[in-house]
Amino acid sequence: MTDAPILARPAADIAEPLALYVHWPFCAAKCPYCDFNSHVRPGVDAARHGRALLAELEHEAGRAGRRRLVSIFFGGGTPSLMPPEAVAALIARARTLFEPAPDLEITLEANPTSVEAGKLREFRAAGVNRLSLGVQALDAASLGFLGRNHSAGEAVAALEHARATFPRLSFDLIYARPGQGEAAWREELRRALSLAADHLSLYQLTVEPGTRFATEHARGAFHLPEGDEAAALYAATAEEAARFGLLPYEVSNYARPGAESRHNLAYWRYGDYLGIGAGAHQRLTTGGEVFAARRHRAPEIWLERVERDGHARVEEEALTPVERGREAMLMGLRLAEGIDPARIEARSGLDFDAVVDHAMLEALMEEGYLRWLPGGRLGATMEGRLRLDALLPVLLR
């Protein structure tokens, strides 16, 4: 990687709004596919953990300054295990520490067990206005394979309850499961779409290193669709979603126009975000520099540090202009709307040609992976979006 600091300008941070991510690192059970920072611990002191989140929020807000707040996202782990009072306190505090946008999006990820479904009204009363339910599959065998501790009936009941409770609703499904053919997936997806969410996250099952599935997959316990088969499932997904008016605005995210997740858009448009809680990442622009930080991953150490120092940041570095440009491209090309070269230049402080290799850009266009979009934006085609991991290293300088 070559850097060109001499030619770089500061990263423009004028009016860069803020998204806030809050991580709850605990789950009732560990799913065999999951490599998120999630832990199963007996007897979590949830009230104490909630107080520490509040302390870390106050600490970080003091450094970030009074910015316009466009989104709060409670992710995990399983944030639906949080005490609703802790969620309410964090929302109320964030509203006073920042300038809340009139359409502030407040999302909470929930697992659809009956226990958690029973708390939905309290989360709504706490200020949550968007729920993201981890449904994952709609039949008992698949839910069993994925190690989920909810039934298909519970998932449908939770969806109905959530639809009646929250103005905005999304749910997640994991497809391209072992032996799942295209016809079966189309049928499952149609059922899911008829449950009438205006946003869906549809992920192809990935075997992540270090998970139980990685061990089982390595010894041949199951096989996943790959190559053309996986590409056909992806194309079928977009087709079915489009029939219900949901468009793929990002690689794995589908929404009715206007129902896109503002929080995720903040990441993909390379906006600023504050991340609090164990293992959370953040990107903050101050004084023309973009600072990347992350926090202790282990919940116990995180808690101890926050109680001692007010925060559990372990690393913070100013990104180089080239790193800023690369990150902005990596994020932006995931979106159907693509990237605006002027935005890449503003956030990196570099000319667009110092971020991308122009000859490679031309070549990738000729091969049908990238294309110019209206308004001078650059986007990946569907083929390109399926291969971003391979394309970006050759495209970026």
Ligand X SMILES: C[S@@+](CC[C@H](N)C(=O)[O-])C[C@H]1O[C@@H](n2cnc3c(N)ncnc32)[C@H](O)[C@@H]1O
Interface residues with ligand SF4 (CB under 6 A)?
27, 30-31, 34, 36, 38, 76-78, 111, 134
Q: Are 268 and 335 in contact (CB under 8 A)?
A: yes
Q: Which of residues 126-165 bind ligand X (CB under 6 A)?
A: 134, 136
Q: Are 87 and 74 in contact (CB under 8 A)?
A: yes
Of 99, 102, 121, whose CA–CA distance to 110 is shortest? 121
User: Two tokens at 217?
Assistant: 């997959």
Of 114, 110, 120, 108, whose CA–CA distance to 164 is shortest? 120
CB of 263 to ligand X, least distance (A): 13
Indicate the residue among 11 and 133 with the shorter CB distance to ligand SF4: 133
CB of 219 to ligand X, least distance (A): 18
Nearest residue by C-beta to ligand X? 134
CB of 38 to ligand X, least distance (A): 7
Is 98 a residue that touches ligand X (CB under 6 A)?
Answer: no
CB of 33 to ligand SF4, least distance (A): 7
CB of 132 to ligand X, least distance (A): 8
**Residues 11, 64, 70, 76: which binds ligand X (CB under 6 A)?**
76
Instruction: State the Cα–Cα distance between residues 257 and 246, nearest whole angstrom.
Output: 7
Q: Reduce the DSSP state of residue 26 to 3 states and report it.
A: strand
Of 149, 139, 241, whose CA–CA distance to 188 is shortest? 139
Instruction: State the Cα–Cα distance between residues 187 and 250, nearest whole angstrom.
Output: 22
CB of 131 to ligand X, least distance (A): 11
Q: x/- site string to ligand X, residues 173 to 202, per CB under 6 A?
A: -x----------------------------
Indicate the residue among 34 and 231 with the shorter CB distance to ligand X: 34
Q: How many CB atoms are closer than 10 A to CB 84?
A: 18
Is 208 a residue that touches ligand X (CB under 6 A)?
Answer: yes
Indicate the residue among 57 and 174 with the shorter CB distance to ligand X: 174
Indicate the residue among 34 and 238 with the shorter CB distance to ligand SF4: 34
Instruction: State the Cα–Cα distance between residues 365 and 121, nearest whole angstrom.
Output: 49
CB of 77 to ligand SF4, least distance (A): 5
Q: What is the DSSP string of 112-150?
A: --HHHHTTHHHHHHHT--EEEEEEE-SSHHHHHHTT-SS
| Partner whose footprint covers residue 208, from ligand X, ligand SF4, none (CB < 5 to 8 Å by kind) | ligand X
Is 244 a residue that touches ligand X (CB under 6 A)?
Answer: no
| Partner whose footprint covers residue 166, from ligand X, ligand SF4, none (CB < 5 to 8 Å by kind) | none
| Partner whose footprint covers residue 30, from ligand SF4, ligand X, none (CB < 5 to 8 Å by kind) | ligand SF4
Eight-state DSSP code of residue 396: B
| Partner whose footprint covers residue 205, from ligand SF4, ligand X, none (CB < 5 to 8 Å by kind) | ligand X
Indicate the residue among 25 and 50 with the shorter CB distance to ligand SF4: 25
Q: What is the DSSP string of 39-102?
A: B--TT--HHHHHHHHHHHHHHHHHHH-S-EEEEEEEEES-GGGS-HHHHHHHHHHHHHHSEEEE
Task: Put residue 227 in one of left, alpha, beta given phi > 0 → left and psi -120 to 50 → alpha.
Answer: left
CB of 348 to ligand X, least distance (A): 29
Q: Tell me the CA distances in angstroms from 25 to 19, 37, 172, 181, 200, one per residue in order.
A: 19, 6, 19, 34, 23
Q: Binding residues for ligand X, per CB under 6 A?
A: 33-34, 36, 75-76, 78, 109, 111, 134, 136, 172, 174, 203, 205-206, 208
